[in-house]
Structure 1
């Protein structure tokens, strides 16, 4: 009785190793990190509208991590299960909405092909409120990473929320510190779900210095850095399709 039915059948499970959703650049990290590097990609190659702009060039990227040092705040939000304490980050709200707006107005991406995901209900609520203030299309999906499971969009923007001043970040933080400052954002299942929703472009917004304290995020950031895909959030642009 101590073993679940899933555990009993684990040895008989077959890995479905061909994915038809993500561009190969998006798929590469989750394949290496979570699927024994066995995933194969069967999708038509498409150019991403997300670009990294440096002093010398502007380059199209299917994956981008935008380093942003916003202030983390605590809010009480209303959910289906009642009021709950949650977290938000105003700087990431503004940046996520800005990138989404550029994808629609400049990149000519349909609103229904974009999703903004976050681990926190408070962040989701603030992003929705920001779109209402701007009278932007309601077809843009804004939801939590957990609720996004099973769905897919051409472009996904992840807002990770957690942040703290550099002077408070410990070089070799103990488990208690990680639990307090990163929490379930560092859960590999949560990360895997979030980064595998996108088809053509994935943009992650977060505090690179803080997230690098998490073993799971450290692996992702190392991979993204090797691809030249870690930039300042303000270097993420959507050039005119013309």
Structure 2
């Protein structure tokens, strides 16, 4: 992933360098590795690893099509047979928990600095965790799949303020010690190179302007989605990533899932004020 620059920082850099727009600076602040790999020298000596062994096929194929032009192939990996009696939010390999039916309640709130948080998404995630907690056999099976001290369920937040919000809500949710021992909540930047059996990704961004912020860039989104081994749950407002933003990474993910909606591996579940409801 490239370094993360806030919009005010980017605007200041653009002014300093005499650029007309802060968007023009994106190419200049990309990661050094990316710049070196795409250089003339990199094209001569660089090599791509084109087989992945982490993600279940449905997750891996979606990531490949949305971020790697279909180049990334799935290697053989045995998925443990523990995903039988599941909450609705985990019934498919990839599930989008859509908060759009909540209307304005789905919008994010401003936190400290330039960070944001989203109460609706945090509540939906806590509800899903409570549903998982009720499945004692699943919780026990997840324990058997991880080494001591590792997490089986990772909640990845695209914004640091959302991590703070979620951790506070989880403390008050009355979850069992068994589930808490399996749970990790952190930001996407802390997750590069890591993996969990179940990943829940909180997008957070939602407003009337449908402003994507830094989520127009694919790198961090790719990292967030590709940390999942067996199950991937994306929580966010679909409205933001349709229409004018359909060409952005999350828009492409929605498009891919919709195009493969006949496949039971992909599902959309509506978030309401009272419960999660699968889209028929």
How high is the TM-score relative to the length of structure 2? 0.67
Counterpart in 2 of 1:95? 124
Could you list the per-position Cα deviations for residues 39-91 of structure 1 after superposition, in whole angstroms to 9, with x for gaps in the alignment? 222212456466648xxxxx931001111031310011xxxxxxx33101101
Q: Which residue of 2 aligns with 1:198?
A: 228
For 1:65, the equivalent position in structure 2 comes to 96
Alpha-carbon shift at residue 9 of structure 1 (Å): 1.6
The reply to whether residue 230 of structure 1 matches residue 272 of structure 2 is no
Instruction: Give the CA deviation at 1:221.
Output: 0.5
Is this contact kept in 1: 2:87–2:128, CA < 8 A? no
Q: Would you say the 8 A contact 2:126–2:173 is kept in 1?
A: no
SS at match of 1:235: strand
Shift of 1:130: 1.1
Aligned to 1:80: none
More helix by share: 2
Per-residue deviation, 1:139: 4.5
1:44 corresponds to 2:78: yes
Query: Measured at CA, do residues 135 and 232 of structure 1 come closer, stay the same or move farther in structure 2, by a change above 3 Å?
Result: closer
- TM-score, normalised to structure 1, is 0.77
Q: Deviations over 1:161-182 (max 9, x none)?
A: 1112xxx45xxxxxxxx6xx21
1:133/1:32 Cα in 2 relative to 1: closer, same or farther (>3 Å)?
A: same
The offset of 1:145, in angstroms, is 1.0
Runs (5+) with no aligned partner, structure 1: 54-58, 77-83, 170-177, 237-242
How far 1:102 moved relative to its partner?
Answer: 2.2
* Gap regions ≥5 residues in structure 2: 1-27, 101-105, 144-149, 262-266
CA contact (8 A) 1:100 1:114 kept: no
Verify the 8 A CA contact 2:61 2:73 in the aligned structure 1: no
Rg larger for:
2
1:21-170 equivalences in 2 (<5 Å) = 21-41=54-74, 42-46=76-80, 48=83, 52=88, 60-69=91-100, 70-76=106-112, 84-106=113-135, 107-108=138-139, 109-110=142-143, 112-136=151-175, 137=180, 139-164=182-207, 168-169=208-209
Summarize the Cα distance change of 1:96–1:33 in structure 2 as closer, same or farther, 3 Å threshold. Answer: same
| RCO comparison, higher one (Cα < 8 Å, 6+) | 1
